[in-house]
Amino acid sequence: MKVIVVKSDVEGGKEGYNVFAEEKKNGAKTFGLATGSTPVTTYKEIVASDLDFTDSVSVNLDEYVGMSADNEQSYNYFMKSHLFDYKPFKTSYLPNGLAEDSDAEVKRYDKVIDDNPIDLQILGIGRNGHIGFNEPGTPRDITTHKVPLTQSTIDANARFFEHEEDVPKFAYSMGLASIMKSKHILLEAFGEDKADAVKGMIEGPDTVDLPASILQNHPNVTVIIDEAAASKLE
Ligand code: F6R
């Protein structure tokens, strides 16, 4: 793993942008994308740049089950408002939250990933070391799957919804095996609350209890972290 320590998430965004720009210059065509607060500074740098993705493909990590693309809480909506409205891709794939048949949707998304091998995958990391919605204990050979959300995630999301029954209970997520197929993985983490997960990912045992530690087995990983997220490293 190549570890780059920066002062802040803003500086991290500039480094993250550099990784995208370099990969693009080297011919990368397919970009795996993430939502959440972590990649926002990188997306801002991309939006402010002259990088052009109209010949590129994007494949997102995950989406809530039951949520339409125009719902403001959907990952689809997040990607539009943070990146795609400004930097359109030739084709952008996300799991379809409204798919009627989950098994078919999971298979469809696996085929999307097989047909569009990811050159660069950007990831955030959860405080418990999750990547995508692959929570601790997730088998490592898993590809796209439908994941029950933890009660704490459901509770945290409840404030965004008027009716409790609208709060998503499941998500579709790329699996750990899908993520590991990417040629280059860029993992970003900012803030002290990520320090334990970052330490486990880089220095801890390679274990299913900390899903991101699987990245120790990948030949091309770049980690961009701020000093707070790096604070527990030896
Ligand atoms: C997002 C995703 C998640 C987040 C992780 C960190 O598509 O799959 O694994 O990367 O939960 O979230 P933030 O960046 O909000 O701290």
80, exposed or middle or buried, with CB in 10 Å at 0-12, 13-18, 19+?
middle
- For the cut 90, the answer to whether the pLDDT of residue 154 exceeds it is no
**62 Cβ closer than 6 Å to some ligand 1 atom:** yes
What distance lies between CA 47 and its chain's CA centroid? 18
Predicted local confidence at residue 222, as pLDDT: 98
- pLDDT per residue as tens digits for the range 100-116: 999 999 999 999 999 99
Predicted local confidence at residue 3, as pLDDT: 98
Closest Cα to atom 8 of ligand 1: 132
- pLDDT per residue as tens digits for the range 21-54: 999 999 999 999 999 999 999 999 999 999 999 9
- pLDDT per residue as tens digits for the range 49-100: 999 999 999 999 999 999 999 999 999 999 999 999 999 999 999 999 999 9
pTM for this structure? 0.97
**From ligand 1's centre to the CA of 98, what distance in Å?**
21
Residue 27 domain boundaries: 2-191+200-224
Domain membership of residue 230 (yes or no) is: no
Predicted local confidence at residue 152, as pLDDT: 80
Domain membership of residue 178 (yes or no) is: yes
Predicted local confidence at residue 101, as pLDDT: 98
Give this complex's ipTM: 0.99
User: Between β-strands 170-173 and 145-148, what pairing exists: parallel, antiparallel or unpaired?
Assistant: antiparallel
Q: How confident is the model at residue 163 (pLDDT cuts 50, 70, 90)?
A: confident
Domain membership of residue 234 (yes or no) is: no
Predicted local confidence at residue 44, as pLDDT: 98
Q: pLDDT above 90 covers what percent of the chain? A: 93
Closest Cα to atom 1 of ligand 1: 35
Which CATH number do you get for residue 21? 3.40.50.1360
Separation between Cα atoms, residue 193 and residue 191, nearest integer Å: 6
Q: Which of 76, 105, 130, 226 is catalytic?
A: 130
Separation between Cα atoms, residue 177 and residue 153, nearest integer Å: 23
Residue of 154 and 77 predicted with greater confidence: 77
Other beta carbons less than 10 A from residue 55's beta carbon: 9
Q: What is the count of structural domains for the chain?
A: 1
- Under 8 Å between Cβ of 3 and 225: yes
